[in-house]
Amino acid sequence: MRLATWNVNSIRARVARTVDFAVREHIDVLAMQEIKCKPEQFPYEAFEEAGYHVVAHGLSQWNGVAIASREPIEDVETAFPGMPGFAKDHDGPDAPLEARAIGATVGGVKVWSLYVPNGRALGDPHYTYKLHWLEALAAHTRATLAASPDLPLALVGDFNIAPTPADNGDPAVVEGFSTHVSPPERAAFADLEAAGLADVVRPLVPAGFTYWDYKRLRFPRNEGMRIDFILGSRALADAVTGAAIHRDERKGEIPSDHVPVVVDLDLASPDDDDDVPMIFG
Partner DNA sequence: ATGACATCCAAAGGATGA
**Binding window for DNA (CB under 7 A); candidates: 33-41, 70-78, 183-191, 238-246:** 33-41
Name the phi and psi angles at 66, rounded to 5. -155, 160
Burial (CB < 10 A; 0-12, 13-18, 19+), residue 188, is: buried
**Beta carbons within 8 Å of 248's beta carbon, 6+ residues apart:** 259
Q: How far is the CB of 257 from DNA (least distance, A)?
A: 7
Span from 11-19, 65-73, 189-197, 261-269 in contact with DNA (CB under 7 A): 11-19
d(C-alpha 255, C-alpha 17), whole Å: 8
Mark residues 195-234: x for contact with DNA by CB under 7 A, - for none.
Answer: ----------------x-xxxx--------x-x-------
Under rule CB under 7 A, residue 173 binds DNA = yes
CB of 12 to DNA, least distance (A): 4
Q: Which of 16, 26, 48, 61 binds DNA (CB under 7 A)?
A: 61
Distances (CA, A) of 266 to 18, 98, 108, 165, 201: 24, 34, 12, 32, 15
Number of residues that bind DNA (CB under 7 A): 35
Applying the rule CB under 7 A, the residues between 118 and 137 that interact with DNA are: 118, 120-121, 126
Contact call for residue 69 and DNA (CB under 7 A): no
**Residue 221 C-beta: closest distance to DNA, Å:** 12
Q: Is 250 in the site for DNA (CB under 7 A)?
A: no
Question: How many C-beta atoms lie closer than 10 Å to residue 155's C-beta?
Answer: 29
Residues 6+ away with beta carbon under 8 Å from 152: 108, 109, 110, 232, 233, 235, 236, 239, 265, 267
Q: Does 101 bind DNA (CB under 7 A)?
A: no
Give the range of 4-12, 48-56, 70-78, 273-281 binding DNA by CB under 7 A: 4-12
Alpha carbon distance 77, 89 (integer Å)? 27
Residue 224 one-letter amino acid: G
Q: Where are the beta strands (DSSP E) in 107-223?
A: 109-115, 153-158, 198-199
Site residues for DNA, 12-31, by CB under 7 A, read: 12-14
**Minimum distance from residue 104 beta carbon to DNA (Å):** 23
CB of 226 to DNA, least distance (A): 10
Q: Give the residue, chosen from 117, 152, 157, 163, that forms a contact with DNA under the rule CB under 7 A.
A: 117
Q: How far is the CB of 93 from DNA (least distance, A)?
A: 19
How far is 248 from 18, CA to CA, in rounded Å?
13
Neighbours of 149 (CB within 10 A): 11
Biggest CA-to-CA distance, the chain: 64
Per CB under 7 A, residues contacting DNA are 7, 9-10, 12-14, 34, 36-37, 41, 61-63, 117-118, 120-121, 126, 158, 160, 170, 172-173, 179-180, 211, 213-216, 225, 227, 254, 257-258
